[in-house]
Amino acid sequence: MAPAQPDAPTPDVPDLLTVSSDASLTLGTDSLVIVGMKTSSIPFYNILWAALSDDGQVTIQYAHAESKKAVRAASIAYTLDQPDLELAGAWIHKLLDRAYGASQRRKRIKVIVNPFGGKGGAINIYAKLIAPIFAAAGCELDVQHTQRQGHGVDIAQNMDIEAYDVVACCSGDGIPHEVWNGLGKRSDAARALVKIAVAQLPCGSGNAMSLNFNGTDSPSLAALAVVKGLRTPLDLASVTQGDKRMLSFLSQAVGIVAEVDLATENLRWMGSGRFTWGFLKRCLLRKVYPADIAVRVVHDNKPAVRAAHRTAVQAARHADSLNPSPNTDDRTLPAQDAGLPALRYGTINDALPSGWQLLSEPKLGNFYAGNLAYMSPDANMFPAALPCDGCLDLIRIPGNINPFKALNGLSSIKKNKFFDQDHVNYQKVRAYRITPTGQKDGYISIDGERVAFEGFQVEIHRGLGTALSKSGRLCEASGP
């Protein structure tokens, strides 16, 4: 049944649609109220689509909440006793306006499924939990499976950006990393990165992107969040190392965090427990990772970081109060031939720019720069992170601290008190350079991917990329 395309409703379209002598549908404050044999309601956020047939049947597709962690596609249908197709069509238009607000309806989605990520269940997760939500919302889908590492780069580099609105990655964080780098390799990179929104549907072992923007690591809830997602400008960082330049959307790490992530790949059978085990082992040894560091500082200390975050959040909430359905992406689409932006601070091979703060860290334990708040379901490591503030959030932690203090720091992440730990140095920076010293080999992580163990330089590009988020402005995390 093809959905009706009613004309725009007039202001006097009633909230109540009577479908029979004993049933009615009412547009409430934040939900559709159904009165019949019994009264029930469906949140507008969960309404996926509505349609009217020529014979007067109203069908509403929605995401039924099975639990706090899962929804499934469902539908209700009523045949009008006394069909008034014009009125019913206008009422459906009004329902969809309430359900979608400023979010784009019936998105054209390029779905990339990684069959190899996590525990290898992405194909089944997509088919059972994600695809039915997309289909019920009337999304136009093009599904492709990756066949090898780096395939996501090739797909994004060669895709027709005019044919899609979103690239949705059924994977961990690795495929979004590949997609952004594939878009970055194009001759029209700047245009592609603004035009195409990248989303993650959690099917891997690392699902940080979904946690930050969908607010969940549930595949079905993430699918609903993508359907209703608002285009959100996202800072991306350029990482230069040797003669290479890559884009990073999530984090860069040197020290315990990088080593725990990358050196425990053989313990994937332990699930998230492998990270705890790796962390404990290295804390007890008081491992250090000496390095020379230079940073272009924006906010130098925790009080300044906290103030900047609160100001940004208050401004976003004030803007939303003035316009409850905001179009938060007002960027101009770049020219067809616009590639990646020039590097403002040069590369790792250039002389260090003037005005940078120089730091020598002979007893460094962790160096961690983040672009988003959540790194894992229970790790809100960067509570002051904002998707588009033109800054990287930088954490430095000494490695020679008392193991009990280190363990307390680990537990503080789960309690959202990590920011307040006195041994955690937290800054917002525009760019930085780090060079490991006194080590022949080790681990460096860029968005969870291992790169060569040598110095690298990073700078942020404000609003270079595009994501989908629930708010259109903020990460789904509480601030410091």
Residue indicated by tokens 């090898």: 148
Task: Judge whether 255 and 366 are in contact, CB under 8 Å.
Answer: yes
Q: Which residues are catalytic?
A: 173
Other CB atoms within 10 A of residue 119 CB: 12
How far does the chain reach from its first CA to its final CA, in angstroms? 50
Question: How far is Cα 322 from Cα 134, in angstroms, rounded to an integer?
Answer: 31
Strand order in the sheet with 23-27: 16-20, 23-27, 31-35, 39-43
Structure-token match 């003669």, residue found: 243
3-state secondary structure the chain: CCCCCCCCCCCCCCCEEEEECCEEEEECCCEEEEECCCEEEEEHHHEEEEEECCCCEEEEEEEEEEECCEEEEEEEEEECCCCCHHHHHHHHHHHHHHHHCCCCCCCEEEEEECCCCCCCCHHHHHHHHHHHHHHHCCCEEEEEECCCCCHHHHHHHHCCCCCCCEEEEEECCHHHHHHHHHHHCCCCHHHHHHHCEEEEEECCCCCHHHHHHCCCCCHHHHHHHHHHCEEEEEEEEEEEECCEEEEECCEEEEEHHHHHHHCCHHHHHHCCHHHHHHHHHHHHHCCCCCEEEEEEEEECCHHHHHHHHHHHHHHHHHHHHHCCCCCCCCCCCCCCCCCCCCCCCCCCCCCCCCCCEEEEECCEEEEEEECCCEEECCEECCCCCCCCCCCEEEEEEECCCCHHHHHHHHHHHHCCCHHHCCCCEEEEEEEEEEEECCCCCCCEEECCEEECCCCEEEEEEEEEEEEEECCCCCCCCCCC
Residue 394: partners with Cβ closer than 8 Å, 6 or more residues away: 295, 367, 368, 369, 370, 426, 427, 428, 429, 432
Distance separating alpha carbons of residues 194 and 372, to the nearest angstrom = 18
